[in-house]
Amino acid sequence: MLLPPLNLTVAEVCRREGVSDVSMYTWRKMASLQGSNMPEDIPLSDKWSAEARFAAVLETASLTQLELGEYCRRNGLYPEQLNAWRQACISGQEAVQAQKMADHEQTRKDKKRILELERKLRRKDAALAETAALLVLRKKLNDYWGTDGEDN
């Protein structure tokens, strides 16, 4: 009763069976020393890491319903949990795809903005070069005519 699928607590089992909790803990300790799995030795499904959940989904992907039931009993899971994990894996993959699309769109916008800024920079460089050339010509003209004023 302590093991899956019931996963009852020691207190619940003691109440149901009319046994003292001291006796129950003693029996558990003896069973543990003999190599039996105890509930604390089996990880709870909500404490499984993401990698372990993904591995369980992969491992059970090709199992029949009978084999899936055996796997779930052996690992203290319910088929609904595996289905939820499978959906989480799928939605996680969809989120990755959506993020890739968003990144691609942002990259495209960034490239377009860079091209626009480069175009403006070239135009401003050309205007600056033209202004510098006009200043040089004006200085040469002033030197030629012998005037120092900028208004001439």
Alpha helices in the chain (DSSP H): 10-17, 21-33, 50-60, 65-75, 79-145
Q: Tell me, yes or no, whether 31 and 96 share the same domain.
A: no
Q: Tell me, yes or no, whether 79 and 29 share the same domain.
A: no
3-class DSSP state of 47 = helix
Maximum mean pLDDT: which of 29-38, 85-94, 111-120, 134-143 = 111-120
Number of domains composing the chain: 2
Q: Tell me, yes or no, whether 62 and 81 share the same domain.
A: yes
CA 87, 89, 91, 94 dihedral sign is negative
Q: Tell me, yes or no, whether 70 and 139 share the same domain.
A: yes
Looking at residues 93-118, what average pLDDT do you find? 90
Q: What's residue 120's pLDDT? A: 97
Residues 32, 65 contacting (CB under 8 angstroms): no
pLDDT tens for 123-144 read 999 999 999 999 999 999 999 8
Range of the domain at 124: 44-152
Q: Tell me, yes or no, whether 38 and 84 share the same domain.
A: no
Q: Tell me, yes or no, whether 26 and 48 share the same domain.
A: no
Least Cα distance to 60 among 78, 43, 47, 48 occurs for: 78
Calculated CA dihedral for residues 143, 147, 149, 150, nearest 10 degrees: -40
Q: Tell me, yes or no, whether 96 and 140 share the same domain.
A: yes
Residue 148 has pLDDT above 90, yes or no: no
Residue 56 burial by Cβ neighbours in a 10 Å radius (0-12, 13-18, 19+):
buried
Neighbouring CB atoms inside 10 A of 147's CB total: 11
Q: Tell me, yes or no, whether 132 and 84 share the same domain.
A: yes
Whole-angstrom distance, CA of residue 51 vs CA of residue 43? 14
Q: What's residue 38's pLDDT? A: 59
pLDDT tens for 31-86 read 878 776 555 544 455 677 888 888 888 889 888 889 988 888 888 888 888 888 88
